[in-house]
Amino acid sequence: MNFGPGRMSPAHRSVIKKKGYKKAIHSYRHGKIQWADKQLAGMRIDLRKSLRAQQSGRCYFCRQLVLQERRNACEDIEHYLDKSKLHYRKWTFSPVNLTIACHPCNLQKGNRDLGDAAIRGSTSLRVGSGSFRWLHPYFDDYHRNIEIHPGWVYAVKASAPKAAEAAAMLRDLELDQIERIQQTRQRYVDLLERTVVLMDKLIERNEVNKPRMKKLTAILKTLKDELRWA
């Protein structure tokens, strides 16, 4: 299976640099608006698309598919260094601070502080700024540190250059817990059922040739592969 890139690249820098978003970013920096403000909605959508493509639709942390919630399409953009902390607010729009994460990982991560004192005091976010508690999406290689076995069993590689960080990440996110594995399976089964219901509706309405059918078929195929693995 393709679990997404080992080390991410800040390709979405171009999204943040778009002229149209300059004013909203400026307002955020001056504390006039929040991240969730509608002035930033376009940028969030673009960012999400770019990150999703790079991450093959998977969560950076657990590498499982991020299943799209219909209610809030922007909730899964994850700031590696928590933007709600005053000392990390300056990196809200830093490309190397952004990933896509699934809801369960997001919850487990909470508002954990993943940087040390050197990073908190640093003016730039790069390799050497300080130490991170977990693997860093842009500075470390996930696959050189963690291997994923069928059934979503995670292990730190024997040759891992960042063994302590990889172990802390798996432990903190509770990726070693059986409950999370069951949860994953259930989420996939739920989506599978939803997809089949939508396909049935299209069939009933004689709309099998609509592009939507193609999309649903693709989701079904992905889920089939995924469930075989899980």
Under the rule (CB under 5 A), what is the footprint of Zn ion? 59, 61-62, 102, 105
Nearer to Zn ion, 59 or 146 (CB): 59
Spatial separation of the C-alpha atoms in residues 125 and 139, rounded to whole Å: 10
In the numeric block, which tokens belong to residue 100? Answer: 């896509």
Nearer to Zn ion, 96 or 105 (CB): 105
91 closest CA partner among 80, 107, 105:
80
Beta-bridge partners for 99: 78
In the numeric block, which tokens belong to residue 26? Answer: 């400026």
* 3-class secondary-structure state, position 211: helix
Minimum distance from CB of 108 to Zn ion (Å)? 8
Minimum distance from CB of 142 to Zn ion (Å)? 12
Nearer to Zn ion, 107 or 208 (CB): 107
Nearer to Zn ion, 64 or 195 (CB): 64
Residue in the structure block whose two tokens are 């997809």: 195
Minimum distance from CB of 122 to Zn ion (Å)? 27
Minimum distance from CB of 39 to Zn ion (Å)? 29
The helix (run of H) or strand (run of E) holding residue 152 is: none
Nearer to Zn ion, 59 or 156 (CB): 59
In the numeric block, which tokens belong to residue 182? Answer: 């069951």
Minimum distance from CB of 115 to Zn ion (Å)? 20
User: Residue 178, Cα to own-chain centre: how many angstroms?
Assistant: 21
| CA dist 66 → 73, 102, 107, 141, 147 (Å) | 11, 5, 14, 20, 19
